[in-house]
A and B are shown apart, each in its own frame.
Chain A
Amino acid sequence: MHIFTNPNYNFLRWRWHAVVLSWILILAGVAFIYTRGLAKGIEFAGGTSVIMQFDKTPSVEAVRDALNKNYPGGGQDAIVQTYGDPSLRQVMVRVPTVGAEQGASLSASAQNVEAAVRKSALGNFKVVGTEIVGPSVGADLTQKGLSAFVLSLIGILGYIAFRYEFSFAVGAVVATLHDVLVTFAFLAFFRYDLTLNVIAALLTVTGYSTNDTIVIFDRVRENMRKMRRESLSEVINISINQTLGRTVITAGTALLSAIALLLFGGEVLHGFAFTMIIGIITGTYSSVFVAAAIVTFWRRTKPSKLSTAAPAAAPVAASKKSKAQRKARAS
């Protein structure tokens, strides 16, 4: 079975459209984050969240009402929402404060939330989970997350430069950067909280989105040895078309598992699964439209090594012919 039979699309012709589309998405994301802010999860923003399981689920309004009446300072800053599957009868209350960051009183806000809800007759409930994060934790995590991301990009850049060549590495890393930015934009559009799980998913996207790119680059390298007459753009275009089927299928299977997570993985993994889904889609798009285009842009400004010299070390399927050629040149 084939998804595409002998596809012959001119992907590189669309690269400028792709550049514009990507920039629109990224800038829209930036504007969105700038004006409306990125919703931060509790690990980054700090605060207190309390998950309560009721005998009979009260309405969100009733819980908010209870907080307005009984929570010190009122409940206007509180986020109240049902949590997880409705059959679990759980409600989550999140307030932006923690008890003074001193000793045992860290949990003061959590106790106040519980007391406030208990005071209003909303039926019997028990607290099944609390999370309290002091204000200093978020900044530390942001810094750690950023450095993990930057370091892994550098690692991938180095590895691909070592295995292929530098322009390919630049293409792969720019594509990955693009994926993370676009994913951020979508997280902002859909108002997903930035949580640790989301960051973990973003870092996974970083590793995953290079996969398709590598598959295409691998084919480009293989074809460059076979097709000595075609221009680089043509070789890249042929390579993308030849690998198009597997690019789409591999993204498809990864998407299937991410969709299973989104639908059945529960409340905690929701943001994670959403991030993976967007990351997989944009990762596939960027492998086809961004990574390869960057290689051609990069090569145009820098004089190409490939047109004058032999391809880089050819460990896979160096044909006898090209080996012989190199030998000839070397001697």
Chain B
Amino acid sequence: MNKNTRTKLITILVVLVVFTGVGVYPILASMYHWPSPSWLQQKQLKLGLDLKGGVHLVLRVETDDALRLQTDQSAEQLREALRMRTIPAMVSTPSISQIKVDGVPTAQDAAFRDASADLSTTFDRSPGTNGSYTFSMKPNVQNQLRADSVVQARQTIDRRVNELGVAEPNIAEQGTNEILVQLPGVTDVEHAKSIIGSPGLLELKIVEGGPAAKQEDLMQGGKVPEGMEIVPGNADAAGGSTVYYMVRKAAAVSGHDLTNARPSVDSNNLPAVSFTLNGEGARKFGTVTETNIGRRLAIILDNRVTSAPTIQSRITDNGQITGVTRDEVNDLSLILKSGALPAKLTYLQEQTIGPTLGADSIRSGVTASIVGLLLIVAFMLIYYKLSGINAIVALIFNLIILLGLMAYIGAVMTLPGIAGFVLTMGIGVDSNVLIFERIKEELEAQHGVRASINAGFSRVFLTLLDTHISALIAALFLIQFGTGPIRGFAYTLIIGLASNLFTSTFVSKTLFEWELSRRAHDQRQIATLSI
């Protein structure tokens, strides 16, 4: 054996040992409970949700909400500014990104412009007729708000899922306004969904009227007074009929000022959630409670009054939400702690894969792999005789490297991924077919065994590169297209293509060289090749 061949063989053996260790051993170890170090277990091939079982959710962040909120807040600021300057104009919000002002007296135009100066960072102002103005939110501000709300929603969901204690969740933004949530091993979909999708908006507002049985009872002259709003609530802790409270629109304190929330009990030993406010929140809360002793404070969760206790004394950084059931306490603390969602979420897609369904998929995938391998092995041995062994060794190397690389880079094996694995066998062996056919052709042209082998590999190499690259192009776009399982397929395909190029050229050729060097002393043998 010459030195070159020996070096190549050693390289191949090292590659084989490393990839077997990383990719194949952990799978066998977990199947048969063999000992394996923890760092190796962490590198174990990850199974996708479709094989492991769990919940797959796709939600859309209603980013319109973020715009509406900004527009409403700005309109409120403008109203306040106009009130201070006693400009008698009507402010309305005709769309989620527009504020309309009507009836600015001509004499006060300059004052109005001054009052609305603050809006100029987020809105473009355009004057209309008869002292009317339209403020349209700037397109870049709109885009920014939408993008921010998606990021915030993702972060909030992230925190909630972590609080739920799900192992290895996958939460990712996809497209412009969608969030993908994958929760392996979770079976109670409804619970998970209610926690993820709960707005979690806590507001504390001073009660100005109510409780009343009907909304109309609280209105003055048939409408809600400016700066006020009517919020429904439960008549008592047990639920009961709905009653209405009139509260100030501006919240005294909101959930943004919250630092912690935990389950507790109230003075009557009923379930409650205690919360702690941050410094800023405590200061605001202190002022509000101090000046409103004796009045009622509405604790509003997601636009529903859970309770409206009377303020007994100044409170700073602690509060309690009562009027919740024992079942809700844990979830509510978790939701409040993780913060409010910036916008409403809509569920677009939901998939639950039970553990038995996943196990069935693995079983059929493994069966298909074994059958596929056996069919190809049989074919290669029949058609290429002894050289078929060479191709089979290259194929098995290919599969080991594929599994090892997937485990090492943390790619996820999915059911379509298994299909990719099986296809890699059928398509991967094509490279050997092309090389072998070329070798045959060269042998028939009487070029001698060694020259034929060399020509076979060198002439086909660029063809292989071309076929692999064109397959790679399609696979790369497949990643762009696909969700979880399809991506798993695309990754399997891509890694399979790369390792195939290595095994069908380098490994296979070295095996031929090794074979030739073994018979170097026998001239009769070297003249023939079983192919």
Contact = CB atoms under 8 A, between A and B. Distances in A.
Contacts of B415: 266, 268-269
B175 A255 contact: no
A259 B415 CA distance: 16
Nearest to B371: A260
Contacts, number: 249
Interface string A112-133: 0000000000000011111111
Contacts of A174: none
Nearest to A2: B440
A1 interface: yes
A281 interface: no
A104 B357 contact: no
B410 interface: no
Interface string A189-223: 00000001101100110111011001100100000
A204 B423 contact: yes
Interface in B350-398: 350-354, 356-357, 360-361, 363-365, 367-369, 371-372, 375-376, 379-380, 382-385
B208 interface: no
B422 interface: yes
Contacts of B425: 257
The bracket for how many chain B residues form the interface is 35 or more
Interface of B: prevailing SS: helix
Contacts of B490: 200
Interface in A235-270: 242-243, 245-246, 249-250, 252-261, 263-266, 268-269
Nearest to B467: A211
With most chain A CB atoms within 10 A of its CB, the pick from B346, B429, B437, B480 is B437
A272 B466 contact: no
With most chain B CB atoms within 10 A of its CB, the pick from A2, A104, A210 is A104
A130 B350 CA distance: 8
A315 interface: yes
A147 B352 CA distance: 29
B416 A272 contact: yes
B349 A145 contact: no
B172 interface: no
Interface stretch (A14-22, A67-75, A134-142, A322-330): A134-142
B32 to A, nearest CB: 23
A200 B416 CA distance: 9
A106 interface: yes
B193 interface: yes
Contacts of B433: 246, 249-250, 253
B486 interface: yes
Interface string B462-474: 1100110111111
Contacts of B345: 103
Contact of B383 (A148, A203, A218, A249): A249
Nearest to B372: A260
B350 A132 contact: yes
B58 interface: yes
Nearest to B461: A316
A129 B357 contact: yes
Contact of B194 (A104, A134, A145): A104
A127 B354 contact: yes
A214 to B, nearest CB: 5
B434 interface: yes
Contact of B477 (A133, A140, A155, A245): A155
B379 A264 contact: no
B416 A269 contact: yes
A104 B423 contact: no
B474 A53 contact: no
B357 A51 contact: yes
Contact of A53 (B350, B356, B385, B480): B356
The bracket for how many chain A residues form the interface is 35 or more
A203 B430 contact: no
B210 interface: no
Given A137-B58, A204-B475, A256-B379, A130 B423 contact: no
B228 interface: no
Contacts of B473: 152, 155-156, 159, 207
Contact of A200 (B360, B371, B426, B489): B489
A148 B349 contact: no
B493 interface: yes
A273 interface: yes
A93 B520 CA distance: 67
B351 A144 contact: no
A232 to B, nearest CB: 20
B235 interface: no
Given A156-B474, A260-B368, A264-B367, A255 B426 contact: yes
A50 B382 CA distance: 46
Contact of B193 (A51, A104, A254): A104
Interface in B415-472: 415-416, 418-419, 422-423, 425-427, 429-430, 433-434, 437, 440-441, 459, 462-463, 466-467, 469-472
Nearest to A243: B437
A144 to B, nearest CB: 5
A151 interface: yes
B333 to A, nearest CB: 20
Contact of A144 (B348, B441, B481): B481
Interface of A: prevailing SS: helix
A136 B348 contact: yes
Nearest to B395: A253
Given A203-B474, A254-B427, A265-B368, A260 B349 contact: no
B351 A130 contact: yes
A107 interface: yes
B372 A250 contact: no
A160 B197 CA distance: 49
B470 A253 contact: no
A256 B466 contact: no
Nearest to B353: A129
A315 B351 CA distance: 51
Interface in B142-174: none
Contacts of B462: 218, 315-316
Contact of B372 (A102, A103, A145, A256): A256
A230 interface: no
B365 A200 contact: no
Given A159-B470, A256-B372, A265-B365, A200 B175 contact: no
B346 A207 contact: no
B354 A128 contact: yes
A254 B423 contact: yes
B189 interface: yes
A71 to B, nearest CB: 19
Contacts of A160: 466, 470
A204 B418 CA distance: 14
B483 interface: yes
A132 B493 contact: no
A253 B423 contact: no
Interface string A87-114: 0100000000000011110110000000
Given A203-B481, A211-B470, A264 B371 contact: yes
Q: Please name the 4 residue pairs, one residue from A and one from B, whose CB atoms are nearest each other, closest first.
A: A257-B426, A207-B474, A266-B364, A260-B372
Given A197-B485, A214-B466, 12 more contacts: A53-B354, A107-B190, A127-B352, A129-B353, A131-B351, A133-B350, A137-B348, A203-B475, A211-B471, A249-B437, A259-B375, A261-B422
29 contacts: A1-B383, A53-B354, A84-B360, A85-B364, A88-B360, A101-B348, A107-B350, A128-B357, A129-B353, A145-B481, A149-B477, A151-B480, A152-B476, A155-B473, A155-B476, A196-B485, A200-B416, A207-B473, A211-B430, A211-B470, A214-B470, A246-B434, A256-B372, A257-B426, A258-B426, A261-B368, A265-B365, A316-B462, A316-B463
